[in-house]
Amino acid sequence: MLYFESLELHFTLIDWASLIAITALGGFMRGFAGFGTTLVMVPIFILFMPPVEAVLIGLTIDVIAMVPMFPSAAKDSDWKRIMPIFIGSVAATPIGVYILYVMSDDAMRIIIALLLIGSALLMLSGWSYRGKQNSSLSFGVGLLSGTSGTAAGIGGPPIAVYMLALGLSADKTRSTLNTTSFIKESISALSIVCITTLEIRLLIIILMLLPFMLTFAWIGSHFFRKTNETSFKKFILRFLLIIGVAIFTKTIFFN
């Protein structure tokens, strides 16, 4: 078995294969769906390294992978909704911290999981939001995303559900999710770097995984271009449903 003991990585070939495989899946989700990357990567990364390092590596490679996408995504994004969502998300950070004190993270995860499952099932049935669309509603979604992201580490799915519920086109939904993710994750990654040390071994892991992230993000983008609106929406809703069930099951049975 191959170890990188001099750099204190201590990863076997099987460990590297697992990290590469989940990074490839995360890259595909970034290119195809515009969200869900760290949601699938970080829980697996945590099995091989401390949580802070797992989050930092996941965020860093995801942000770097989004750099080539950002100009196009920013151009096609629904900025009218992005800014209220972003402001609401930042404003909700203290709320998320407060909830950590008054409610267990497991309880918060169960609530979010049930919301995801319910929302996905509702929209898979053919429902879409027909009410008034305004900045206040977008701000509220940002509050939910920021609160759940801080309290339970689940910030992306509420925004994805909202975008799909509005009935936006696949292009605009994906672009808006990519833009929102790039802004939020860049700030999060920089914040972590400011309070921790970016060691050489972490840079090596990032450099090792980055090519797989970039390659599969490109593959995901290629698949997106060949997918119609209906298939895209069904894929995202089913992915959200799976994530919701996985979070609920893990919280209830494997904690």
Of 41, 72, 110, 78, the C-alpha closest to 248 is 110
Per-chain mean pLDDT for the chain? 83
pLDDT at 161: 83
Mean pLDDT of 127-145: 81
The answer on pLDDT for 151 being more than 70 is no
Alpha-carbon distances of 117 from 2, 16, 39, 252, rounded to whole Å: 41, 32, 16, 15
pLDDT category, 98, cuts 50, 70, 90?
confident
Of the chain, the percentage scoring pLDDT greater than 90 comes to: 22
pLDDT category, 180, cuts 50, 70, 90?
confident
Structure-token pair, residue 19: 């990290």
pLDDT at 101: 66
Distance CA 224, CA 241 (A): 20
User: What pTM was estimated for this model as a whole?
Assistant: 0.78
| In contact, 28 and 36? CB cutoff 8 Å | no
Q: Could you tell me which residues come within 8 angstroms of residue 141 by beta carbon, excluding any fewer than 6 positions away? A: 85, 88, 158, 159, 162
pLDDT at 12: 84
